Amino acid sequence: DVVVTQTPLSLSVTPGQPASISCRSSQSLLHTDGKTYLYWYLQKPGQPPQLLIYEVSNRFSGVPDRFSGSGSGTDFTLKISRVEAEDVGIYYCMQSIKLPEITFGQGTRLEIK
């Protein structure tokens, strides 16, 4: 199984300040097709996860450009350049290199100071 580990598990950020979340996988997420199957989601209370970033660094439609993803192989980062109040929730990374199985990180809770 591919294990995905996120750090930190919680984050408290002042509005307008940056935030960063790390995701590490137990094996490379680089597929032989050249794509890297690492995704970032935000789950707000009472809602399903909403996609922010796909394939490491591609923002999904409608996602603000203050969100960015980077990394390669086994180490990945989600950055929020300037946190806003609407960014509160739990952030998950997800891998799908070993389809059909997908696995998620433990989640990182972001709160506003």
Partner 1 sequence: QVQLVQSGAELKKPGASVKVACKSSGYTFTKYYIHWVRQAPGQGLEWMGIINPNGGGTAYAQKFQGRINMTSDTSTSTVYVELKSLRSDDTAIYFCAREDQYTAYWGQGSLVTVSS
Q: Could you tell me the smallest distance in angstroms from the CB atom of residue 107 to partner 1?
A: 5
Range 43-48 contact pairs with CB under 8 angstroms and sequence separation of 24 or more: 43/89, 43/90, 43/91, 43/92, 43/107, 44/88, 44/89, 45/89
Binder among 16, 48, 65, 113 for partner 1 (CB under 8 A): 48
Q: How many CB atoms lie within 10 A of CB 1?
A: 8
By rule CB under 8 A, what count of residues binds partner 1? 21
State the Cα–Cα distance between residues 108 and 25, nearest whole angstrom. Answer: 15
Q: Which stretch binds partner 1 (CB under 8 A): 14-22, 45-53, 65-73, 75-83?
A: 45-53
Decide whether 14 or 106 has the Cβ nearer to partner 1: 106
Binder among 24, 31, 77, 107 for partner 1 (CB under 8 A): 107
